[in-house]
Homo-oligomer: A and B are copies of this chain.
Amino acid sequence: MLERAQVWLVDDLVSPEMTCYASPGTHVEWVGKRGGRCSVSQDRILQLTLMHAMAGKEVARVKGGDPLLFGRGGEEAAFLRGHGIAVEVVNGISSGTAAAQALGVALTHRAHCHGVSFVTAHTQDHGAPDWRALAASGTTLMIYMGMSRLAGIRDGLLAAGMRPDMPAAVVMHAGDKRQRCWTGTLAVLEGALATGLASPAVILVGEVLTDAKGGQDASG
């Protein structure tokens, strides 16, 4: 599918080396919304995708992670289908599961929990998730887009009754060679920032992290 596409519209979370899988002559355009590159709005991405598709091109929207888990893949697919464009979605490895691999932990060890909740700290209405309900659920917490809200996450979970020494971890660039890990506890969650970790990163909180591989770099 990637080899067949004449146009690639690529998010910033994708590793640059991915582009070596594009066939010669492919139009490769980075449309990331973060960091050093020129920012492209979500509306502009939709219009670009539609424009290339209407021109008869096969377009690959290349995203990091899984497009159906905080990837806005659902919105983009719905928009395109609404314009009569055929869409095929391919699953990927979300940074949350890649982070578990990096830390050497299972997200759902049956001795510890019933499951895992993937939540975003950055919501459409700018409110916080219901930390009380999430803490009460007893699931491992995997928090996306939370690096600018570490204090709020810590305070929310402590106020919800979670113990300060609950194991926690942060994994930056999970699953690619820039990957870096921090391990600690809920009480000192902001310590991840002091070691230089920053967005894009996922934050993990829960008993399953008791045996997580620590250090600033646990990729080995």
Instruction: Enumerate chain A interface residues (CB-CB to B < 8 A).
Output: 66-75, 77-78, 89-94, 97-98, 100-101, 104-111, 114-120, 123-124, 129-130, 132-134, 136-139, 144, 175, 208, 211
Asked if residues A91 and B93 are in contact (CB atoms below 8 Å), the reply is: yes
18 more A-B residue pairs beyond the given contacts A114-B130, A118-B118, with a C-beta to C-beta distance below 8 A: A68-B97, A68-B108, A69-B107, A77-B104, A89-B101, A91-B93, A91-B97, A108-B118, A114-B120, A115-B117, A115-B120, A116-B117, A117-B137, A130-B136, A130-B138, A133-B133, A133-B134, A134-B137
Question: Could you give 23 example pairs across A and B, Cβ below 8 Å?
Answer: A67-B106, A68-B106, A68-B107, A70-B108, A72-B106, A74-B105, A74-B109, A75-B106, A89-B104, A91-B93, A91-B100, A91-B101, A92-B93, A108-B120, A110-B124, A114-B130, A115-B117, A116-B117, A117-B137, A118-B139, A132-B136, A133-B133, A134-B137
Find the B residue at minimum CB distance from A106: B74
Interface of A is mostly: loop
Q: List the 9 closest A-B pairs by CB distance, nearest first.
A: A74-B106, A115-B119, A133-B136, A133-B137, A117-B117, A114-B129, A68-B100, A91-B93, A110-B124
Chain B residue contacts of A74, Cβ below 8 A: 105-106, 109, 208
Residue with the highest number of chain B CB atoms closer than 10 Å, among A67, A90, A93? A93
Number of copies: 2
Query: Is B114 within 8 A of A119, CB to CB?
Result: yes
Which chain B residues lie closer than 8 Å to A73 at the CB level? 106
Across the interface, do B66 and A211 meet the contact criterion of CB distance under 8 Å? no
Q: Which residue of B lies closest to A76 (CB)?
A: B106
Q: How far is A136 from B117 in the complex, measured between Cα atoms in Å?
A: 13
Minimal Cβ-Cβ distance residue in B for A108:
B70
A73–chain B nearest beta-carbon distance, Å = 6
- Kindly provide the distance from the CB of A209 to the nearest chain B CB, expressed in whole angstroms: 11
For residue A134, which residues in chain B have a CB less than 8 angstroms away from its CB? 133, 137, 139
